[in-house]
Amino acid sequence: MDLNWSPEELAFEAEVKDFLDTELTPELRRAGTLSTSVYPDHHASMAWQEILRKKGWAAPHWAAEHGGTDWSVAQHYIWNRERIAAGAPALSPMGISMVAYVIMKFGTPEQQTFFLPRILSGEIFFCQGYSEPGSGSDLASLQTSAVEDGGDLIVNGQKVWTTHANEANWIFALVRTSKEGRPQQGITFVLIDMTTPGVELRPFTMTSGEQIQNAVFFTDVRVPQVNVMGQIGQGWGVAKYLLEFERGGQAYGPALKIRADQIAAHAAATIGDDGAPLIDDPVFAAKLARARIRADVLEITELRLLSSASDGGSVGALSSMMKIMGTELAGTLTELAVEAAGPYGTVYQPHATMPGGDVPGYTPPADGYVAGEEWHALAPLRYLNERAGPIYAGSNEIQRNIIAKMVLGL
């Protein structure tokens, strides 16, 4: 594995840095650096997506004929690393990084022509309708039903933990169209217009105080069968294809290494009870050092995946390894950030951050006062939100089972 960048890749790196220096406004950088979860402020994210769309970089992984780029795998990694380092807000993954690939692979030419340009422009904003009460990691047990009625499907049921459903105007959902045979055989993947009569949203207020997740109810919702992806009853394979992108579609290493560096800087400026900087405390320093070593190992794992993909090889269980390592290390770093924040980390002040959703019932101080600094306010909110990391996109217990089967043959 050659970890040295070629002259062409170094030139691309310089181009990316120049673009980010020019186009990232202070407001957009703030939205990226002070984001409380993996889902950034919606309006900032969409503003950044429009800038990227004009540059042709909003969906670089897409096929070129649909508006993507012809970047090499190394260029994709450089782009991810530099945008994270610059503080760019993330784009919502539901449309561009997830369902778009399903539409490209399973969609008809008419579906591709309708949805893909509108996902790219932001006119269509998707959320994901997978989990249900009692059907999370055991997704094949889902019960939301869809009954054929002429050229339509009549959908009834409920989805939960539906991120940014309150911002979305479309949802891609798994529904049950048959109870015959194995549970996976009766599932259909369908795209539903959220403005259709019978669709109802109920937001959840999370422990962070934000309303990012929602419950979505379907009552006799009439959906044209032309919105089915693939074939009726064969949605399980479509869903598994999409999960490959949800689990392995991001580079964890750069963001986590930057976060570890920030914690080190904050700890150096934080004075402990003994009058010395927190970074000099041997216990804290040892925990941070272990986390930084784990971040280095994760980045090497991602570079191994990059090298394999560049040579046309299979990434195999590496995507599951990345998901486990990335989400668990993210949780560890949020714990260290809260420890570094000390008493300031106990103050609830989301107005000093960029929450991923509304914060109902919270009234910020009239003068905008912040106890401590912005990072003190950010630390506890990220801590609360990162608790979900080992659960979403297939729990880490499920990922370990995948590794046991693929690597150990168990």
pLDDT in tens, 351-407: 999 999 999 999 999 999 999 999 999 999 999 999 888 888 778 898 899 889 888
- Common-topology check for domains 126-234 and 251-406: no
| Arithmetic mean of pLDDT, 232-247 | 80
Instruction: State how far the Cα of 82 lies from the Cα of 14, in Å rounded to an integer.
Output: 10
Position 34 scores a pLDDT of: 96
Position 251 scores a pLDDT of: 67
Percent of the chain scoring above 90 in pLDDT: 71
Any idea of the CA torsion for 293, 314, 79, 170, to the nearest 10 degrees? -110
Position 38 scores a pLDDT of: 82
Query: Which residue has better confidence, 389 or 30?
Result: 30
Any idea of the CA torsion for 156, 158, 162, 164, to the nearest 10 degrees? 60
Task: Determine whether 180 is an active site residue.
Answer: no
Burial 239-256 (b: 16+ CB within 10 A, else e): bebbbebbbbbbbbbbbb
Spatial CB neighbours of 26, under 8 Å, sequence gap ≥ 6: none
Task: Evaluate if residue 312 carries a pLDDT over 70.
Answer: no
Helix (H) or strand (E) holding 248: helix 235-248
Position 72 scores a pLDDT of: 85
Domain range summary for the chain, segments of one domain joined by +: 7-91, 126-234, 251-406
Instruction: State how far the Cα of 233 lies from the Cα of 183, in Å rounded to an integer.
Output: 10
- Residues 410 and 351: beta-carbon distance below 8 Å: no
Exactly one of 82, 167, 246, 339 is catalytic; name it: 246
- DSSP letter (8 states) at residue 115: H
- Protein fold of 251-406: Butyryl-CoA Dehydrogenase, subunit A; domain 3 (1.20.140)
- DSSP letter (8 states) at residue 96: I
Q: What is the pLDDT of residues 172-192, one digit of tens each?
A: 999 999 988 888 889 999 999
Q: Which CATH architecture has domain 126-234?
A: Beta Barrel (2.40)
Task: Evaluate if residue 254 carries a pLDDT over 90.
Answer: no
Instruction: State how far the Cα of 233 lies from the Cα of 403, in Å rounded to an integer.
Output: 28
Quote the mean pLDDT of the chain: 91
Map tokens 């784990």 to a residue: 294
Task: Evaluate if residue 154 carries a pLDDT over 70.
Answer: yes
Task: Evaluate if residue 14 carries a pLDDT over 90.
Answer: yes
Instruction: State how far the Cα of 53 lies from the Cα of 226, in Å rounded to an integer.
Output: 28
